[in-house]
Amino acid sequence: MNRRCLPALILTAVLAATPVSAQSSFYDLKTRMLDGKPADLAQYRGTVSLVVNVASFCGYTPQYAGLEKLHRELKGKGFTVLGFPSNDFGEQEPGSAEQIAQFCRTNYDVTFPIFEKVVTRGAGQSPVYAFLGRSGTLPSWNFGKYVIDREGRSVAFFASDVTPEDGRLRAAIVKALGGR
């Protein structure tokens, strides 16, 4: 074997073995919508996203109303809320995809994208939360919120008790939007 080719072969092998969680941008990830259709998060590149692990039967579930209001208020400025249902905490999202969609539509008129149910931590962790965990923080309960900047970097995390109306969350979103 030609010795000059060895570094290129090693680099190729390393890149091929690199897990999705090692991607450099949130927007490099692929997942599935709640209805099972493939979803490429690249469609949100250039926007600011608020990624939230949601659940239908949680004490924080009423935050859906504030998340929807925030989404509608700022979507014209390059912002979107992205919901990822999870049954990790207290088994508070036990429903099927159809049940989750119906719940969100009927109770909160949710129009922001909802993706397939995910595991946020531990065995079977989704690539989305493996990536987000690289920020040093994973949700400890439902409705943990990550502000993702236009380049796909996690720039802020807010725990479940921080509501969509909280000034700190809004300030982080406005900052990521570039003050727009």
Reply yes or no on whether 104 is catalytic: no
Nearest one of 78, 94, 76, 75 to 86, comparing CA atoms: 94
Q: What is the pLDDT of residue 175?
A: 96
Q: What is the pLDDT of residue 23?
A: 73
Q: What is the pLDDT of residue 22?
A: 55
Q: Distance between alpha carbon 118 and the CA centroid of its chain, in Å?
A: 10
Q: What is the pLDDT of residue 180?
A: 54
Does residue 33 sit within a domain? yes
- Tell whether the model's pLDDT for residue 95 goes beyond 70: yes
Does residue 1 sit within a domain? no
Q: What is the pLDDT of residue 12?
A: 34
- Tell whether the model's pLDDT for residue 13 goes beyond 80: no
E-strand stretches of 76-163: 79-85, 145-148, 154-158
User: Structural domain of residue 156, as residue ranges?
Assistant: 20-176
Q: What is the pLDDT of residue 21?
A: 41
- Tell whether the model's pLDDT for residue 7 goes beyond 50: no
Token match 């600011």: residue?
A: 48
Tell me, what amino acid is at 117? K
% of the chain residues with pLDDT over 70: 87
53: phi then psi, degrees, rounded to nearest 5 = -85, 110
Does residue 160 sit within a domain? yes
Among candidate residues 34, 48, 55, 58, the one labeled active-site is 58
Question: CB of 114 within 8 A of CB of 100?
Answer: yes
Does residue 104 sit within a domain? yes
Q: What is the pLDDT of residue 146?
A: 98
Rounded to the nearest 5 degrees, what angle is found at the Cα of 46, between the Cα atoms of 41 and 52? 50
Q: Give per-residue pLDDT as tens, 107-137.
A: 999 999 999 999 999 999 999 999 999 999 9
CATH number for 168: 3.40.30.10
Q: Give per-residue pLDDT as tens, 52-63.
A: 999 999 999 999
Does residue 3 sit within a domain? no
- Tell whether the model's pLDDT for residue 91 goes beyond 90: yes
Find the mean pLDDT for residues 160-167. Answer: 98
Using DSSP bridges, classify how beta strands 30-32 and 38-40 pair: parallel, antiparallel or unpaired.
Answer: antiparallel
* Domain count of the fold of the chain: 1
